[in-house]
């Protein structure tokens, strides 16, 4: 096999020198992560043999080791012609100790609970189910990986950038001699997504090669790094503000905050920022901010587009439940499409960890008397109802403490319904709401605050809620009309007659308290006949039609009742509808397919990004006040009409990822699109020109202006795309947030992947101004 490239064998002394060099690299990276000398990090760097588990019969020993970049894990594989596999910290969504994955639960014995752990990857990559030799090794693995993930997250944008660039340099150093030749330099530039002509590359190289040795090393590489990461646009801003012997005094910082960032700021705020971000101790003692300190400020949360005050729960959480938008998922059990995709407890965990507060359970009779969850009449796989409830119990409140609604789509016989009720009551325990809060019949919903850590069941109920106070029901079952989404469903299922009846077990009916499913017969009928706790589900076509023709009536309906919207069954690929028109008319439970990355999911992620990402957002006052005559389609004068002009200057981007990593010469041609979603009058989209062959530090300096009529409902989405003249542009990164959470001034915009994960080193640099329209 002489065609395979092999590195020339090192001599013993060369190998020793190489190993010492690798130790130094690991030491530097550990230091950069704030984990210098950490025993858990050293354990991972040394590597250990683990058992990789795929099934009852497939359990193989594999050696796993953290590489010197302190970011990439290497593990051996027995597949012929397959390079040994790697994955990075950026690929990991979570590490779970114990038998906390579907695979480990199925294929291992409870006796090895303490030796097991699972690595859960972002996207659709298969989990890695592992077992260590003993509990101590398993704990050290989990602790070590979690430390690296947390410390990586806490690095500043600049530190992440430096970590990324230096490790890209190491990859370009083909012969591991810690030097960089001109050829390696060109390879490195392509690796970081920038195409330069040979003349320019030679020019940079000569400028840095002060020793004329034909390669860069030590301080020469540092000089090259400084040249590469110089931000001209920041130099100009800093130059304009630094009026005190070439540096920014506390007064200069205050002037910048007041005039450029349009913040309400005091001298105390200016001094706080110097204390927080200045890296030079001498400057800090003189209450000054150097250019490096200024750069640190711009790239931390104070310089972010998202108002830092909105990163925590800042809204009033003591209002009735129906006054909030609630992050909600549809077909939560599915990992992919709704015809043949797998059902999994993992899908529930992923949704809950994204602060989804309303999940759907499509329940059917299963074998051995055990109810199952799957997409009825399709080839989707089945998952046990009890396993789903256990997973929900374990993960419901890890990212948000506010209530979770379990939306039951019940197709089970009475016997299996009784088992469903048993599992809900026994597994969820005191966290399950089984009777109204308080001692008297309520007239409206409790608040998210009152329902912290609680589960609500949405489903059919045999009688009115006041029966909960009378305790007079002795029957075990009765029939109830099945006029919910199952009735007029297009969900890839056989539609049933509209007036069909199902038998409902009393024990399951009795735990439906605040979310009783009823059919919608019109707004007038609902007003006269429906109690506040009786809610309707609307398929998207019906909901959009009502929003278009009866916007104000729909808003009034949602002032004291809950509405749930769900995607049409014709969406067999689990695609999504635009949630914004539904929020515009005050619908609370706007359910989307969380498993499908899409523009609609980006908007949903943006809507629930503020308020501590807790899954609840307080609706604007004009969607809660009974006197309101707001209609999103025909804007009249009212408190909702607060016209603003939104000025945006797209300045630059930094370290955009390569889209085709396998093609070294594939460099992106980025452009930026800005989209506004809100009431129809506010919907707009504008884009920059594209820049050829530069994903590392493209600069646009283009200005845009948007007229906004109802700012409280407006969402802003930034989209960075790779321009293609012959086909659709490819997505590089995106970020979405409500206009009301945007900070004015020079701001850093983080970028997320299509699936909503942060792209560590990438970002946009913009200038924003939201001002009252004249």
Same domain, 682 and 722: yes
**Residues of each annotated binding site for substrate:** 52-79, 458, 460, 537, 564
DSSP summary character for residue 331:
S
In a domain, 629, yes or no: no
Same domain, 470 and 609: yes
Last residue of a domain, which of 569, 592, 623? Answer: 623
Report the pLDDT value the prediction gives residue 662, as an integer from 0 to 100: 56
- The span from the CA of 707 to the CA of 521, in Å, is 38
Confidence of residue 3 (pLDDT cuts 50, 70, 90): very low
Relative to beta strand 515-517, strand 455-459 is parallel
Residues catalogued as catalytic: 330, 375
3-state secondary structure of 539: strand
In a domain, 636, yes or no: no
pLDDT exceeds cutoff 70 at 617: yes
Chain segment 710-745, per-residue pLDDT in tens = 999 999 999 999 998 888 899 999 999 999 999 999
Confidence of residue 631 (pLDDT cuts 50, 70, 90): very high
Relative to beta strand 758-772, strand 644-654 is antiparallel
Structure tokens at 90: 């950026």
Same domain, 169 and 261: no
Any idea which of 89-98, 274-283, 493-502, 508-517 has the lowest mean pLDDT?
Answer: 493-502
Chain segment 287-307, per-residue pLDDT in tens = 999 998 999 899 888 999 999
CATH number, domain containing residue 135? 2.30.29.30
Report the pLDDT value the prediction gives residue 569, as an integer from 0 to 100: 84
**Residues of each annotated binding site for Ca(2+):** 331, 360, 362, 409, 667, 669, 693, 722-724
Q: Tell which wins on pLDDT, 502 or 177.
A: 502
Domain with 65 in it: 12-154
Q: Tell which wins on pLDDT, 469 or 578.
A: 578
Same domain, 592 and 458: yes
Any idea which of 5-14, 88-97, 592-601, 695-704 has the lowest mean pLDDT?
Answer: 5-14
Any idea which of 282-286, 552-556, 725-729 has the lowest mean pLDDT?
Answer: 725-729
Confidence of residue 483 (pLDDT cuts 50, 70, 90): low
3-state secondary structure labels for all residues of 643-657: CEEEEEEEEEEECCC
Report the pLDDT value the prediction gives residue 372, as an integer from 0 to 100: 95
pLDDT exceeds cutoff 50 at 588: yes
CATH number, domain containing residue 741? 2.60.40.150
pLDDT exceeds cutoff 50 at 491: no
- The span from the CA of 65 to the CA of 53, in Å, is 17
Same domain, 48 and 147: yes
**CB–CB of 383/342 below 8 Å?**
no
- The span from the CA of 451 to the CA of 402, in Å, is 7
Count the neighbouring beta carbons within 10 Å of the beta carbon of residue 499: 9
Chain segment 365-403, per-residue pLDDT in tens = 999 999 999 987 777 789 999 999 999 999 999 999 999
Q: What is the mean pLDDT of residues 223-246?
A: 88
Q: Average pLDDT, whole number, for the chain?
A: 89
Q: What is the mean pLDDT of residues 164-178?
A: 74
CATH number, domain containing residue 521? 3.20.20.190
Chain segment 63-80, per-residue pLDDT in tens = 999 988 888 898 877 665
Last residue of a domain, which of 108, 130, 154? Answer: 154
Find, among 114, 73, 108, 64, the residue nearest to 92 by Cα.
Answer: 73
3-state secondary structure of 253: helix
At 524, which helix (H) or strand (E)?
A: helix 523-529
Greatest mean pLDDT among 87-96, 192-201, 309-318, 474-483: 309-318
In a domain, 633, yes or no: no
Same domain, 35 and 116: yes
Same domain, 393 and 343: yes
pTM above 0.95, yes or no: no
Report the pLDDT value the prediction gives residue 170, as an integer from 0 to 100: 73
pLDDT exceeds cutoff 70 at 474: no
Confidence of residue 482 (pLDDT cuts 50, 70, 90): low
Report the pLDDT value the prediction gives residue 499, as an integer from 0 to 100: 57
Structure tokens at 635: 């804007």
Confidence of residue 6 (pLDDT cuts 50, 70, 90): very low
How many distinct structural domains can be found in the chain? 5
Q: What is the mean pLDDT of residues 615-640?
A: 95
Same domain, 140 and 170: no
**CB–CB of 208/220 below 8 Å?**
yes
Q: Which residue has the tokens 């019940």?
A: 410
Q: In what order do the strands lie in the sheet with 730-738?
A: 684-687, 670-677, 715-722, 730-738, 745-752, 758-772, 644-654, 699-708
In a domain, 628, yes or no: no
Chain segment 596-606, per-residue pLDDT in tens = 999 999 999 99
- The span from the CA of 262 to the CA of 256, in Å, is 8
Same domain, 407 and 550: yes
* Percent above pLDDT 70 for the chain: 93
């Amino acid at each position: 096999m002489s065609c395979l490239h092999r590195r020339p064998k090192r001599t013993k002394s060369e190998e020793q020198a190489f190993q010492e060099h690798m130790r130094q690299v690991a030491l530097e990276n550990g230091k950069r992560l704030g984990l210098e000398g950490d025993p858990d990090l050293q354990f991972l760097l040394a590597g250990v043999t683990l058992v990789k588990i795929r099934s009852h019969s497939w359990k193989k020993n594999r050696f796993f080791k953290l590489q010197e970049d302190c970011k990439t894990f290497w593990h051996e594989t027995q597949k012929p012609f397959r390079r040994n596999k790697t994955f990075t910290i950026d690929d990991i969504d979570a590490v779970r100790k114990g038998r906390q994955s579907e695979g480990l639960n199925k294929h291992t014995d409870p006796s090895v609970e303490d030796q097991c752990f699972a690595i859960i990857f972002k996207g659709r990559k298969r989990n890695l189910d592992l077992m260590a030799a003993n509990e101590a090794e398993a704990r050290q693995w989990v602790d070590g990986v979690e430390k690296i993930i947390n410390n990586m997250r806490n690095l500043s944008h600049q530190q992440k950038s430096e970590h990324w660039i230096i490790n890209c340099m190491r990859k370009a150093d083909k012969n591991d001699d810690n030097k960089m030749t001109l050829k390696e330099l060109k390879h490195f530039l392509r690796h970081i997504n920038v195409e330069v002509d040979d003349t320019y590359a030679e020019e940079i190289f000569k400028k840095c090669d002060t020793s004329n040795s034909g390669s860069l090393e030590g301080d020469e590489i540092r000089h090259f790094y400084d040249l590469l990461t110089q931000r001209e646009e920041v130099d100009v801003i800093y130059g304009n503000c630094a009026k005190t012997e070439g540096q920014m005094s506390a007064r200069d910082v205050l002037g910048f905050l007041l005039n450029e960032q349009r913040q309400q700021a005091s001298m105390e705020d200016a001094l706080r920022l110097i204390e927080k971000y200045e890296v030079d101790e001498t400057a800090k003692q003189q209450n000054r901010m150097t250019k490096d300190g200024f750069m640190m400020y711009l790239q931390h949360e104070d310089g972010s587009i998202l108002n830092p005050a909105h990163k925590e729960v800042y809204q009033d959480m003591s209002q009735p439940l129906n006054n909030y938008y609630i992050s909600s998922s549809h077909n939560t059990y599915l990992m992919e499409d709704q015809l043949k995709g797998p059902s999994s407890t993992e899908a529930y965990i992923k949704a809950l960890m994204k602060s989804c507060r309303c999940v759907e359970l499509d329940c059917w009779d299963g074998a051995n008397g055990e109810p199952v969850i799957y997409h009825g009449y399709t080839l989707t796989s089945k998952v046990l109802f009890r396993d789903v409830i256990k997973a929900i119990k374990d993960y419901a409140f890890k990212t948000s403490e506010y209530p979770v609604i379990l939306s039951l789509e019940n197709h089970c016989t009475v016997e299996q319904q009784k088992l469903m009720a048993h599992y809900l009551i026994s597994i969820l325990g005191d966290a399950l709401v089984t009777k109204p809060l308080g001692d008297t019949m309520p007239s409206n919903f409790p608040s998210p605050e009152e329902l912290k850590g609680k589960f609500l069941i949405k489903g059919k109920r045999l009688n009115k809620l006041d029966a909960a106070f009378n305790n007079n029901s002795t029957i075990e079952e009765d029939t109830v009309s099945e006029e919910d989404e199952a009735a007029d469903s297009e969900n890839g299922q056989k539609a049933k007659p509209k007036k069909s009846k199902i038998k409902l077990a009393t024990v399951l009916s009795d735990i439906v308290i605040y979310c009783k499913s009823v059919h919608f017969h019109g707004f007038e009928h609902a007003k006269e006949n429906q109690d506040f706790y009786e809610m309707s589900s609307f398929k998207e076509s019906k909901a959009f039609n009502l929003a278009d023709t009866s916007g104000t009536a729909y808003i009034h309906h949602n002032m004291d009742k809950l509405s749930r919207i769900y995607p049409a069954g014709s969406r067999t690929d689990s695609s999504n509808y635009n949630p914004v028109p539904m929020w515009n008319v005050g619908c609370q439970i706007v359910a989307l397919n969380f498993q499908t990355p899409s523009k609609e999911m980006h908007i949903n992620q943006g809507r629930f990004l503020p308020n501590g990402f807790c899954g609840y957002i307080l609706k604007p006052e004009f969607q809660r006040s009974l006197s309101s005559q707001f209609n999103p389609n025909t804007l009249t004068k009212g408190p909702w009409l607060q016209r603003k002009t939104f000025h945006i200057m797209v300045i630059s981007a930094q370290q955009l990822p390569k889209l085709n990593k396998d093609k070294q010469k594939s460099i992106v041609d980025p452009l930026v699109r800005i989209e506004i979603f809100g009431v129809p009058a506010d919907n707009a989209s504008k884009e920059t020109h594209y820049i050829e062959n530069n994903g590392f530090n493209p600069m646009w300096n283009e200005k845009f202006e948007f007229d906004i009529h109802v700012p409280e409902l407006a969402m802003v989405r930034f989209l960075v795309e790779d321009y293609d003249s012959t086909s659709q542009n490819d997505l590089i990164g995106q970020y979405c947030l409500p206009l009301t959470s945007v900070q004015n001034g020079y701001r850093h915009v983080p970028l997320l992947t299509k699936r909503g994960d942060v792209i560590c080193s990438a970002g946009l640099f913009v200038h924003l101004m939201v001002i009252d329209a004249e």
